Structure formats: structure tokens, C-alpha cells
Chain A
Amino acid sequence: MVNGVTWGSVYALIALGYTMVYGILRLINFAHGDVYMLGAFFGYFAARWIGAAQDPNPFKAVLVLIASMVACGIVGVIIERCAYKPVRRSSRLAALITAIGVSLLLENGGILVFGPDPKFFPQIIPAHEIRLGLGVTISNQQVIILLVSLVLMVALRAVVLYTRTGKAMQAVSFNHTAAALMGISVDRIITFTFMLGSMLAAAAGVLVALQNPKIEPLMDIMPGLKAFVAAVLGGIGNVPGAVIGGLVMGIAEVLVVGYVSPTYRDAIAFVLLIVILLVRPAGILGQNVAEKV
């Protein structure tokens, strides 16, 4: 159960990026999962560079997290500027194919640069178990994953609800033209959204690497897809929905592994998805939008 919640919060972090970009651009950003992979790798290099593994302390761990988030934020901005902006005016299919192209590019570029074989993420925080009584034990890493994701989600909510930029994001997601008429620089808001989403994905990458230290360029395909499913589950374009979707997915997966069979782990996400979409086509928190003619 605790495992489910930890995985769920990771899915939720990635799903937030999907959902924000979709909310603003109506684009399924397939490359988002790859940013998560990059996050893990940036974290790996940052940790090696500052020597966080030799003498682990919380300060260095936070530094690694921040370095990776900043690097991925920059990558997100570059991707948006170079690949997505030119196709924004063309059909959504073209944009989607571009997203797929970027995703393939990051994966294969990753293989080229980082090498195809898995790397081992340094232990920047030594693991130890915490007993909660009643036979329940959790590791301190799980606690950290939960805490960090919680902090990031609260921070995101604060940014979206209470800052000027956040309000501008909401405005843009309602209506590009109207927002532009109100004096909002739509381009800058879109870039900012990509940056935020990529930073969250990077955090997810570092957090996952903390618990499963094997990182490789193709590690993102399944978590990426599942996070995307989580975003849809909660109602795509809806920020709290993404968090709920992520948690539901994480818990459902762990239950399947525990009670049915570990090999069906990857299927449950999609079964859940289809069931929910058939019952509530707009997702758990999504609203049915009446189609205007």
C-alpha cells in the first residue's frame, strides 16, 4: 500500500506535466516521459559531480534535485521553442507526430550520449527502514519521495492559483485569443508551462532513481505512458485530477501485483483507463464539455 502511494505520487508528478501542457495546448506531449528520464540522468551527473555519494548529506541531495530540475526546465524550454512552436499553427496531428519525433530523439540521443547500458544512481541518501508497528515498515526513501512530491504539488498549486503567471496560465488554457487580448503574452506562458512541467518530471526522475537506482535511456517508456494514462484518468487538463489519477494508478498496480500476478502490472493501468473512460468519458474530475457548433 505504501509502495502504491509512493509510485502513485511519482506518476502524479509526471502526470501533472502532461495535464498542464494538454490544458494549454491540447497537445499530448509524448516527449514528457523522456524529460523524466533526462531528469534521472541529470541527477546522476550532478550527484557525481558534487560527490554526493561519498559523503551523503541532505543538503547535497537537495542540491542534486534542484540541479536536475533546473537543467530539465531548460531542456523543456528548448524543446518547446525549437520543436513545438513552429507547428503550433498546423494541425494537431502534425504537432503530435512532432512530439513523437522529439520523444524518439531524446531516447535515441540518450542512448548515444549516455550509452545503452544501465547506470547506477549513487546513493545520495542511505536507505534505512522505519518501523511503523503492526508489521508495517517503510524506508526513509519512500518517506522522502512522498514528502518531496507533496511539497512540489502544493507549490505548484500555489503558483497556479495565486501568482500572476499562474492566473495567466489559467486564462490561456480557457481561451488563447481572449488571453492575448487581455495583454497576456501567450508564448511566454506556454514556455513557462513547459518549464514547470519539465521541472516536475525531473523531480520525479530523481525520486525514482533514489529508490530504483538502475537508470537507462529507455527507462521512461512505461512510466511515461502510465503517467499519461493517470492524467487522462483524472480528467486531462485538470491539475488535482492528475494527482488523484496518479495515486489511483499506483495503488491499483500494487494491488494487482500483490493479489493477481506481477506480469499483469502493466495491463492494469490500461484496463482501469478503459473502464473509467467508458463510465465517465471525461475522467474522474473532468467536466463534460458540450460541443459547440
Chain B
Amino acid sequence: MMRLVRAVLVVGVLLALNRLLPSFLNPYYMRVLMLCGISVILAVSLNLINGFTGQFSIGHAGFMAVGAYVSAVFSLHLGAGWMRSLAALGLPESMAQGATLLAALLIGGAAAAVAGYLVGLPSLRLRGDYLAIVTLGFGEIIRVLITNIDAVGAARGLPGIPGWANFFWVGLWVVVVVLVSMRLARSTHGRALFAIRDDEVAAEALGVDTTSYKVLAFVLGSFFAGIAGGLFAHYNAYLHPNSFTFLKSIEVIAMVVLGGTGSVTGAILAAIVLTILPEALRSAQELRMVIYSLMLIVLMITRPQGLLGSRELSWPRFLRRRAAAEGS
């Protein structure tokens, strides 16, 4: 019962914010906010693979691209038909739109998950750096393939995707991905993932099925990356293969490492910081990427474990600290 109430509350708050925010935030801030949300989904999903399981993936943009393109193609070709039949069932337009978007996102996410499964399989044989390189190769292959498939616009990009993704949907998926990771971290399965990260051989000796857990991490992580891609597609209304280069994967990794590998709240924080930072530095024009990269280096030298290390920010801890401080 409590859970249901909470779920309804979250949806209610998101819907209200969806209505209210555009009225006092200008479109530019709105855009930055949406991009932050998408970055958070990406960073938290990569954290499942890199942070929780310790499998080094540097092809996250590839999974995102799969999700983005599959969901966009779905909306472009089947979206209108679905909307019509849903409307015929008596659903109001906004709900029909939402349902179609949800279907598109889920299909995009599923396609990315399948890709994640395929990439996760070689992790049976490869460790560490080699796995990283395979994921890098996968990301690049996906991009080159997209550039060569005429049906999705090839190098011209894919325009005209319905712009259904609004604050509500991005917010909802942020909540979902964060909840899934947080709950996972405290479950048996999450503990198994941590064990693999900390010492694979020991984990195996203790009876953890390392292979299937690694694949699980890949599938889950790439599913959410696919969702993020789908949201990006339906927000931007235009896709181009150059949005999914190696650099995009690097950005997401930077978010995970900067936040502190394994820390969900850290990933969220870093995703927001690293999305806003280049925007905030926009006035410095040419200098902004130089400053960005310098900050990355300096942060790594001074705080190699990331902003939060492997800790999580949490209210109870914060309150306890406060109480302790007042007591003393």
C-alpha cells in the first residue's frame, strides 16, 4: 500500500513539474535540464557495468545509438498507426502519445539489451582491457553501420522524429533507473556484482556464477542506455550518427569515474555537473573544452577515487552527521 502511494506521489509530482517548469524556466534552461536527465540515465546505467561489476565498457554510446535509432524508427513508421488505434479505444491524445512513446522506448531499450547481451558474451573469454577494447570496437561498428544504412538517413541524419519526450518521461526514467540500481545494490544479485568487481577469482570460488552476472550487468546497463537513447531521439526530434561517437562514450565514463565508481548518487551528481559545466562555460567559447579537460585531469590527480568515492549520499547519514555535530 505504501509503495503504491509513493509511486502515485512520484508520478503526480513529475506531472505537476512537467506542467509548471516551462512557465518559469526559459527554453534554454529547460533543454539543459532535459539533457541533464538523459545524462543521469546514461551515467547510472554505465555505473551498473563499470561501477558495480567492474567490467570496463567504453562503448556506451553504441548502446545508446541502438536504442535511439530503433525507437525512432518505430515511432516514425508505426507510431501514427498506434496513436490512431489507441485514440479509437477512447484514450485522450496525451495518453495515447505517452503510451506510444513508452512502447517505442521499451522496444529501443530491448534492442539495446540484445546488443548488450551480444557484447556481454565475449566477456566470458576476455578480461579487463581487452573487453574494454571490444566494447569500443562495438560502438564504432554501430556508428559506421548507421552511417551506411540508407533507411535511417545514413550520414544525413534522421529527421522528423515526433518530439514526445517531455520532462515527465525523462524524470520518470531517471527515477526508474536510480531505483533499480539502488535496490540492486542492496540485493543478493548486487552483492554478487560487487564481489566480481572486487575479486573475480574469489567470487567464482565462493560460487558466484560470474559469467551470467557479467552478462546480466551488460544487458541491464545497455537496456537503460537504450532508453536514454530513445528519450534523446524523441526529445531532439533529429538523430545524427555523429552524436554517438567514441567521445560520447568517454563523456559517460568520465561521469561515472568522476562521481566515484559504484556510487549511484555520485554518478548522478557527476552527470549533472558534467552536463552543466560545458554549458556554463559557453561564454568562454574556445576555452571551454580546454578548461573542461584540465578540470578532468586535475580532479583525477587530486581525487582519484572520484567526488564521492564509493559512498552514497543519503539523508539518514546527513541527519546523523548533523545530530552528531550538534551533540558535540
Contacts and interface: CB of A to CB of B under 8 A. Distances in A.
A225 interface: yes
Interface string B40-68: 00000000001000001000000000000
A140 interface: no
A293 B207 CA distance: 16
Contacts of B78: none
Interface residues of A, number: 47
Contact count band on B: 35 or more
Contacts of A225: 136, 140, 246
A271 B293 contact: no
Contacts of A87: 300-301, 304
B293 A104 contact: yes
Nearest to A85: B301
Contact of A112 (B56, B140, B287): B287
A55 interface: no
Contacts of B164: none
A232 B138 CA distance: 15
Nearest to B54: A93
Contacts of B184: none
Interface stretch (B23-31, B89-97, B250-258): B250-258
A228 B127 CA distance: 17
Contact of B126 (A28, A98, A264, A281): A281
A105 B301 contact: no
A97 B254 contact: yes
A97 B300 contact: yes
Nearest to B129: A28
A157 to B, nearest CB: 24
Contacts of B261: 93
Interface in A235-270: 236, 261, 263-264, 266-267, 269-270
A275 to B, nearest CB: 10
Contacts, number: 122
Interface in B96-122: 122
B258 to A, nearest CB: 7
A228 B130 CA distance: 12
A102 interface: yes
Nearest to B301: A86
A110 to B, nearest CB: 10
Interface SS of chain B: helix
Which of B144, B250, B297 has the largest number of chain A CB atoms within 10 A? Answer: B297
A194 to B, nearest CB: 16
B137 A221 contact: no
A232 B145 CA distance: 22
A144 interface: no
Interface string A91-135: 101111110111111011101100000000000000000000000
B145 A98 contact: no
A267 B294 contact: no
Contact of B304 (A91, A105, A112): A91
B300 A101 contact: yes
B301 A277 contact: no
B148 interface: yes
Contacts of A93: 50, 56, 257, 261
B125 A83 contact: no
B296 interface: yes
Contact of A105 (B133, B140, B253, B297): B297
A267 B293 contact: no
A50 B132 CA distance: 44
A252 to B, nearest CB: 14
A136 interface: no
Contact of A98 (B50, B201, B301): B301
A17 B145 CA distance: 30
Interface in B264-292: 286-287, 289-290, 292
Contact of A100 (B137, B253, B287): B253
Contacts of A270: 136-138, 140-141, 144
Q: Can you list the 5 inter-chain pairs with the closest CB atoms, starting with the nearest?
A: A90-B304, A270-B137, A101-B296, A104-B293, A94-B304
5 contacts: A28-B132, A87-B300, A96-B257, A97-B257, A107-B289
Given A28-B129, A101-B296, A103-B293, 18 more contacts: A83-B301, A86-B301, A91-B304, A94-B305, A97-B254, A97-B300, A100-B253, A101-B254, A101-B294, A105-B290, A108-B292, A112-B287, A112-B290, A225-B246, A236-B129, A270-B138, A274-B137, A278-B122
Interface of B: 50, 56, 122, 125-127, 129-130, 132-134, 136-138, 140-141, 144-145, 147-148, 201, 246, 250, 253-254, 257-258, 261, 286-287, 289-290, 292-294, 296-297, 300-301, 304-305
